[in-house]
Amino acid sequence: MRAFEGPRPVEWFYLEMAKALGLPGAGTDGFGPGAHFNTVEDYYLKMAANVAYAGGKPVPDASAEELKLFTDTRNKVLKDTWDEAAWKAAVTAEEWPKVAYVLNRGGRFEGHGGQEYENGYEGDWLKYRYEGMCAFYDPKVGAAKDPMTGKNFDGMATLRQPLRSDGSGYPTHDTPLQFVNWKSRNHGTHRTVNSPWLREVRGSNYIHLNSVDARARGIQTNDKVMVRSATAEVEGVAYVTEGIRPGVVGADAAYGHSGYAAHAYTIDGEQVLPPAEYGHGKAAQAVTPGHEETGFAGPRRAGFSVNDLLADDTVEVPSGVTDPIGGGAAQLDTWVEVTRL
């Protein structure tokens, strides 16, 4: 159902812009003679038809009972925000029952087959094998040079330990746990912490530890802990879970802001205060990880910044370690120790 009256899917804008510019592939006969692209449904339902006919063996037609279920469900949930005639016009009459079959199931799935792995393997080989070209040597990578050493990169896939720019490894003699980080379910990037609604879902990040590592350190869920890397120390709250493997700890990367209106700052002599806070008292924020039922957003500064823990490189200008070929931050290559406070 629509959350608000008025807004439309962004695909409508793209379609109308393409038609206004006279771009090929849009409008009447956009997909070929008789195959139009005049509505958003024209595009996505053709995609569902591709799924229905993929692999040379199409799915069965939806039965009359199933077609009625398809229509009744959308009439009840989507009401007047969907147009069945427009949906049917997006594909051929022959394709429509198969499209309904796929959409009713949320995709196309193969049966188990009776025996374990029967539909997954042919002997020792995967049944559905990759049919494209595998480039074991990449000439572009082999032609590029490491900016620190001047030597060409190896165009073949290699396995080596993470290194800093001078070729040295990371100091890990007293930091035995590999630290990783990820985007949380409720934040697409670190920038979305500006949304109080998203912070209501989870107001802070936690240190995720496996129970094996937690027991060895006397740590339980909701304990305050210190996370120490070769670069920095941060304080956080422990979350003991089997969702992370032993020897690895990690945290959501969206939290722990020092800027971005998390604190007051001054521009041209005028102080700019953080957004007004609500429900940020200590009692409201005493939340056990996994039990954020209070509904309070928490401040933007809550939690800790995973970037503070990342290893420093050895170049003259202070910076983090990066992948020398792709240039991405080496955000999965930091080693830490976690202790209970």
Q: How confident is the model over 142-164, as pLDDT tens digits? A: 999 988 889 999 999 888 888 88
Say if residue 226's pLDDT is above 80.
yes
Cα distance between residue 47 and residue 41, in whole Å: 10
pLDDT tens figures, 195-207: 888 888 888 899 9
**Among 13-17, 110-114, 213-217, which is the least confidently predicted range?**
110-114
Go through 188-214 and write b for each residue having 16 or more CB atoms within 10 A of its CB, e for each that does not: eebeebeebebbbebbbbbbbbbeebb
Give me the chain's average pLDDT, please.
Answer: 88
Return the pLDDT at 7: 75
- pTM for the whole thing? 0.65
Cα distance between residue 71 and residue 86, in whole Å: 13
Secondary structure percentages of the chain, helix, strand, coil, to 5:
25, 15, 60
Say if residue 193's pLDDT is above 60.
yes
Residues linked to residue 121 through DSSP beta bridges, in sequence order: 126
Provide mean pLDDT across the span 164-178.
86
Say if residue 1's pLDDT is above 50.
no
Q: Which among 30, 35, 41 is positioned nearest to 8, based on CA atoms?
A: 41
Provide mean pLDDT across the span 60-80.
94
Return the pLDDT at 138: 92
Share of the chain above pLDDT 70, in %: 94
Q: Which among 178, 176, 196 is positioned nearest to 187, based on CA atoms?
A: 196
Q: Which of 76-90, 117-131, 232-246 has the highest mean pLDDT?
A: 232-246
Return the pLDDT at 328: 82
Other C-beta atoms lying within 10 Å of the C-beta of residue 279? 16
